[in-house]
A and B are shown apart, each in its own frame.
Chain A
Amino acid sequence: MVSNLRNTLEYLAGERDEAPEFLSGRFELVVRCAVWALAILLIYAFCGQSSKFIYIDF
């Protein structure tokens, strides 16, 4: 499982050319969508890190 995760991350990062099995099988498109969706949500949540928060109860 750890090697699968590693292979996936390496593939997504461009380090590896061969896609892991679940990324190249029947559900390839669905998985790609999920990866991009997750990336967008993470970027959205973390892109405010340059903000200076004083009050934190809003």
Chain B
Amino acid sequence: MTKRRLLLPVISVVTLLAVANALMGLWSHRLPYYRMLEKIRTAHDPNLLIVGNSLLTGLDEPALVRAANEGGESFNPINVATVASQPPEHKLLFNYAYKRQPSIRTLVVGIYDFQLTTLVKSRMTDLMGNRMIAVDHRFGFDEVVSSYGFGAGDQVELGVARTLPMVANRGNVWKYVELVRRSMAAMGMPRVATNNMGRVDDFKAIESASPETFDAEANAFLEQPDHFNPSYDSIFSTAARAKMNIVVVIMPMSPYHRAIFYSRPSWKGYIAALDQLADRRGIRVIDASGWLPAEGNFKDHLHMNSEALHEFSLRLGSELSHTFSR
């Protein structure tokens, strides 16, 4: 009787976990990272690939195409910029797009601060939400391990996450709990500024903690200004082998961010060194950081609002057409 009392709950729990995993696996097909991979798979002969993070997700592609057309360039873009993504995810997305869409002839990468050169060290515990793209079986296990530089422990965790959707997509469940927590915490409190990506104040955490930290990151590159970080080094090497036109766009930043960080001598030195490195690798750099001069163009210190994204897209389309006609 005692064994039976134990066995039935154990069987029930195992069954429940199996069902929950199956449901989570189905649900994962509706998550943004999965839909992005499907978008790449089903695109029709794109010739322009746009890679980046949340700064580029709202790009007005029709406006870009129109402006480029007026300049004599015909683009069929596919924008794989993904919210809350880092260079290793950009590399995985680029590799997948490169393999699936051989018609891509131009690569545009949107960056801010030291995205091209800072080494991103991620553990499995850092991967959540869109960063979980690595669990998709379209990517080989070894490809993911090398993209992130995972050690033995993280490789085991990766194997578990790729097998159990409940582990891989746990953050997408936690997100809803977090939204409930935020709404409860906001009761009776003064309103805080939010946008479609989260709380405006929270985005300060993805800027440098201080001008001194910013200087240190710039100087770290200036000591060895001969390579990008491994993810972008791989992206640019692959793109160059495929004879793609490669364009790096330093994304528009708010007047606040430019005043605090981009006005510093360290940034000017960094950009000069980055330009030289890009030139040696055959990469064109468009500095769009000052294209939008008003604080009202931005939802926070980093992200443009929809009107500004439209304006930026028009100008980028025009700039790209001029870049290639030179």
Q: Are B130 and A56 in contact (CB under 8 A)?
A: no
Question: Which residues of chain B are within 8 angstroms of A55 by Cβ–Cβ distance?
Answer: 54, 83-84, 129, 197-198
Instruction: Please measure, in the bound complex, the distance between the C-alpha atom of A53 and the C-alpha atom of B202, giving whole angstroms.
Output: 8
Instruction: Please measure, in the bound complex, the distance between the C-alpha atom of A32 and the C-alpha atom of B225, giving whole angstroms.
Output: 63
Q: Are A51 and B206 in contact (CB under 8 A)?
A: no
Instruction: Please measure, in the bound complex, the distance between the C-alpha atom of A37 and the C-alpha atom of B176, giving whole angstroms.
Output: 20
Instruction: Please measure, in the bound complex, the distance between the C-alpha atom of A48 and the C-alpha atom of B175, giving whole angstroms.
Output: 9
Contact pattern, A 36-55, Cβ under 8 Å of B = 1, otherwise 0: 11001100111111011111
Q: Are A51 and B171 in contact (CB under 8 A)?
A: yes
- Report which residue of B32, B83, B177 has the largest number of chain A beta carbons within 10 angstroms of its beta carbon: B177
Assess whether A9 is interfacial by the CB under 8 Å rule: no
- Tell me the smallest distance from the CB of A54 to a CB of chain B, in Å: 5
- Report which residue of A40, A45, A54 has the largest number of chain B beta carbons within 10 angstroms of its beta carbon: A54
Instruction: Please measure, in the bound complex, the distance between the C-alpha atom of A37 and the C-alpha atom of B10, giving whole angstroms.
Output: 10
Contact pattern, B 127-146, Cβ under 8 Å of A = 1, otherwise 0: 01110000000000000000
CB < 8 Å: which of A32, A44, A51, A52 contacts B9? A32
Q: Are A36 and B9 in contact (CB under 8 A)?
A: yes
Does more than half of chain B's interface fall in helix, strand or loop, or is it mixed? Answer: helix
**What residue in chain B is nearest A35 (Cβ atoms)?**
B9
Assess whether A15 is interfacial by the CB under 8 Å rule: no
Q: Are B166 and A44 in contact (CB under 8 A)?
A: yes
Q: Are B13 and A57 in contact (CB under 8 A)?
A: no
Q: Are A29 and B173 in contact (CB under 8 A)?
A: no
Q: Are A40 and B170 in contact (CB under 8 A)?
A: no
Q: Are A37 and B203 in contact (CB under 8 A)?
A: no
CB < 8 Å: which of A36, A45, A56 contacts B198? A56
Instruction: Please measure, in the bound complex, the distance between the C-alpha atom of A37 and the C-alpha atom of B3, giving whole angstroms.
Output: 19
CB < 8 Å: which of A32, A36, A58 contacts B171? A58
Instruction: Please measure, in the bound complex, the distance between the C-alpha atom of A55 and the C-alpha atom of B179, giving whole angstroms.
Output: 11
Q: Are B203 and A49 in contact (CB under 8 A)?
A: no
Instruction: Please measure, in the bound complex, the distance between the C-alpha atom of A41 and the C-alpha atom of B24, giving whole angstroms.
Output: 13
- Tell me the smallest distance from the CB of B170 to a CB of chain A, in Å: 6
Instruction: Please measure, in the bound complex, the distance between the C-alpha atom of A49 and the C-alpha atom of B170, giving whole angstroms.
Output: 12
Question: Which residues of chain A are within 8 angstroms of B33 by Cβ–Cβ distance?
Answer: 58
Instruction: Please measure, in the bound complex, the distance between the C-alpha atom of A58 and the C-alpha atom of B196, giving whole angstroms.
Output: 11
Assess whether B152 is interfacial by the CB under 8 Å rule: no
Contact pattern, B 3-29, Cβ under 8 Å of A = 1, otherwise 0: 011001100110011001000000000
Question: Which residues of chain B are within 8 angstroms of A45 by Cβ–Cβ distance?
Answer: 173-174, 176-177
Given contacts A55-B197, A57-B198, A58-B130, is CB(A46)–CB(B177) below 8 Å? Answer: yes
Q: Are A33 and B13 in contact (CB under 8 A)?
A: yes
Q: Are A57 and B197 in contact (CB under 8 A)?
A: yes
- Tell me the smallest distance from the CB of A47 to a CB of chain B, in Å: 8
Question: Which residues of chain A are within 8 angstroms of B205 by Cβ–Cβ distance?
Answer: 52, 54
- Tell me the smallest distance from the CB of A57 to a CB of chain B, in Å: 5
CB < 8 Å: which of B13, B84, B128, B196 contacts A36? B13
Question: Which residues of chain B are within 8 angstroms of A32 by Cβ–Cβ distance?
Answer: 5, 8-9
Q: Are A48 and B171 in contact (CB under 8 A)?
A: yes
**What residue in chain B is nearest A40 (Cβ atoms)?**
B13
Instruction: Please measure, in the bound complex, the distance between the C-alpha atom of A33 and the C-alpha atom of B9, giving whole angstroms.
Output: 5
Known: A48-B173, A53-B174, A54-B206. 18 other contacts (CB 8 A): A29-B5, A33-B8, A33-B12, A40-B13, A40-B16, A45-B174, A48-B177, A49-B178, A51-B171, A51-B174, A51-B178, A52-B205, A53-B175, A54-B203, A55-B84, A56-B178, A57-B196, A58-B128
